[in-house]
């Protein structure tokens, strides 16, 4: 049988309308002990994810653990991107066991869940495995997660992937949502996020635009 290719995206690729992003426990107390990624890169990647979600109007849940009594506020890079959005504070380490979070998940009613936060081995593994057990598709933004050691982060990622979660990176998340440089309504915002937060790739975008007035897809 001959296989026919079609000019169409694969079913496993994310789009802005098909998932809920849950950003979990990006808080000072959690970050202090994080060793698998340095704080600068962690904050940058979290900001990249938040800005991508905001640009593409992704349904987003922000949640903290023991904000007032122990862990502190969520990173300003995230809260400033979603001004006025309710912060769902929990006592449970597993976000998926919190009634308020689950009420929001059910209100949004999307089968795909994208997770990032601190720590990978506890606060990301918990909801990832729980959501998978309930039939959701789960994606984990690995470089917008962190843990007390590289070993802890890596084994947590292994465990989630083996259970069926799909790993990705923060820049990949942004570019997967854009996916076509001819998509003019989000082109400037996407390249702007990349220039500000996209590391070496962002430098390349800045260089090309400054030196040659280059533009992908234009």
Q: What pLDDT band is residue 217 in, cutting at 50, 70 and 90?
A: low
104: Cβ contacts below 8 Å, ≥ 6 apart: 61, 88
pLDDT in tens, 36-46: 999 999 999 99
CA gap 44, 57 in Å, rounded: 20
Let me know: does 141 contact 169? Beta carbons within 8 Å: yes
Q: What pLDDT band is residue 216 in, cutting at 50, 70 and 90?
A: low
Q: What pLDDT score does 140 carry?
A: 99
* Number of Cα atoms under 13 Å in the Cβ half of residue 22: 35
Q: What pLDDT score does 218 carry?
A: 53
Q: What percent of the chain has pLDDT over 70?
A: 98
Distance in Å from the first CA to the final CA of the chain: 38
Q: Is the pLDDT of residue 72 over 90?
A: yes
Across 131-160, average pLDDT? 98
206: Cβ contacts below 8 Å, ≥ 6 apart: 195
Q: What pLDDT score does 200 carry?
A: 86
Looking at 1-5, 152-156, 157-161, which range is the least confident one? 1-5
Q: What pLDDT score does 199 carry?
A: 86
Tell me what the pLDDT averaged over the chain comes to: 95
Q: Where are the domains of the chain?
A: 19-179, 180-218
pTM of the model: 0.94
Quote the CATH superfamily of domain 19-179. Isochorismatase-like (3.40.50.850)
pLDDT in tens, 167-182: 999 999 999 999 999 9
Q: Is the pLDDT of residue 214 over 70?
A: no
Let me know: does 197 contact 144? Beta carbons within 8 Å: no
- Backbone phi, then psi, for 203, in 5-degree steps? -60, -40
Q: Which of 139, 176, 201, 170 is nearest to 46 (CA)?
A: 170
Across 81-95, average pLDDT? 97
Q: What pLDDT score does 203 carry?
A: 84
Q: What pLDDT score does 33 carry?
A: 96
At 216 the three-state DSSP class reads: coil
pLDDT in tens, 100-130: 999 999 999 999 999 999 999 999 999 999 9
CA gap 107, 74 in Å, rounded: 23
Q: What pLDDT band is residue 154 in, cutting at 50, 70 and 90?
A: very high
């Amino acid at each position: 049988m001959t296989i026919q290719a079609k000019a169409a995206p694969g079913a496993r690729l994310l789009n802005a309308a098909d998932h809920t992003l849950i950003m979990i426990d990006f808080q000072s107390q959690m970050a202090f002990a994080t060793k698998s990624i340095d704080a600068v890169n962690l904050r940058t990647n979290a900001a990249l994810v938040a800005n991508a979600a905001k640009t593409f109007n992704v349904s987003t849940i922000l949640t903290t653990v023991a904000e007032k009594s122990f862990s502190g506020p969520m990173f300003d890079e995230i809260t400033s991107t979603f001004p006025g959005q309710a912060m769902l504070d929990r006592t449970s380490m597993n976000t998926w066991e919190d009634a308020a979070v689950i009420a929001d998940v059910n209100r949004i009613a999307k089968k795909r869940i994208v997770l990032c936060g601190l720590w990978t081995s506890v606060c990301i593994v918990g909801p990832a495995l729980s959501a998978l057990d309930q039939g959701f598709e789960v994606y984990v933004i690995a470089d917008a997660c962190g843990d007390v050691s590289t070993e802890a982060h890596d084994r947590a990622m292994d465990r989630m992937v083996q259970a069926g979660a799909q790993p990705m990176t923060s820049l990949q998340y942004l570019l997967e949502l854009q996916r076509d440089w001819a998509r003019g309504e989000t082109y400037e915002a996407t390249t702007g996020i990349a220039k500000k937060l996209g590391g070496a790739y962002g430098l390349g975008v800045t260089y090309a635009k400054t030196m040659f007035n280059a533009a992908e897809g234009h």
